[in-house]
């Protein structure tokens, strides 16, 4: 819930809807629901990559999905203020704002600054400093 708590939407929703797409290794706690320190509830649920993602989700958490499905998801999110986190995109190049990298017991994340800028949500600079920026080709 850490990254979510440091994110602001253009119009703050009374509750956050977190949508998990595809099989995900680390989504159990997210699906259980939670409450942010501000008292705002976070409601988690699994959803397919249909046309309502931008309308129905404030946060998407991508598990293992194919490249075509990934592109479909991010095409649907264009123009919608949605925070996106992926646990399977090591390169962090296609759409996701934050890409988790798990190695043993260590969890780090990469940031796709282009996706952050296009997302419509604001993420605290403190979070942006913690992550590793994706490598850009020379």
Percent of the chain with pLDDT over 70: 91
- Decide which of 23 and 48 is more confident: 23
Where residue 104 falls among pLDDT bands split at 50, 70, 90?
confident
Stated pTM of the model: 0.86
Tell me what pLDDT residue 44 has. 86
Tell me what pLDDT residue 83 has. 95
Least confident of 26-30, 74-78, 131-135: 131-135
Residue 103 has pLDDT above 80, yes or no: yes
Residue 106 has pLDDT above 90, yes or no: no
- Decide which of 1 and 93 is more confident: 93
Mean pLDDT of the chain: 84
Q: What H or E segment, with its residue span, contains residue 19?
A: strand 16-21
Residue 137 has pLDDT above 70, yes or no: no
Q: What H or E segment, with its residue span, contains residue 6?
A: none
User: Strand, coil or helix: what is 71?
Assistant: helix
DSSP string computed for 45-112: EE--S-TTHHHH-SEEEE-S--HHHHHHHHHHHTTS--EEEESS-TT--SS-SEEEEEETTEEEEEE-
């Amino acid at each position: 819930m850490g990254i979510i708590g440091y994110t602001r939407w253009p119009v703050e929703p009374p509750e956050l809807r977190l949508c998990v797409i595809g099989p995900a290794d680390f989504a159990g706690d997210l699906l259980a629901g939670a409450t942010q320190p501000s008292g705002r509830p976070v409601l988690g649920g699994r959803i397919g990559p249909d046309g309502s993602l931008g309308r129905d989700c404030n946060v998407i958490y991508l598990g293992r999905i194919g490249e075509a499905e990934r592109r479909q998801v991010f095409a649907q999110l264009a123009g919608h203020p949605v925070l996106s986190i992926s646990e399977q995109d090591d390169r962090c190049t296609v759409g996701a704002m934050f890409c988790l990298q798990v190695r043993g017991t260590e969890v780090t994340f990469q940031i796709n600054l282009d996706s952050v800028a296009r997302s419509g949500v604001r993420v605290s600079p403190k979070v942006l400093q913690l992550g590793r920026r994706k490598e850009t080709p020379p």
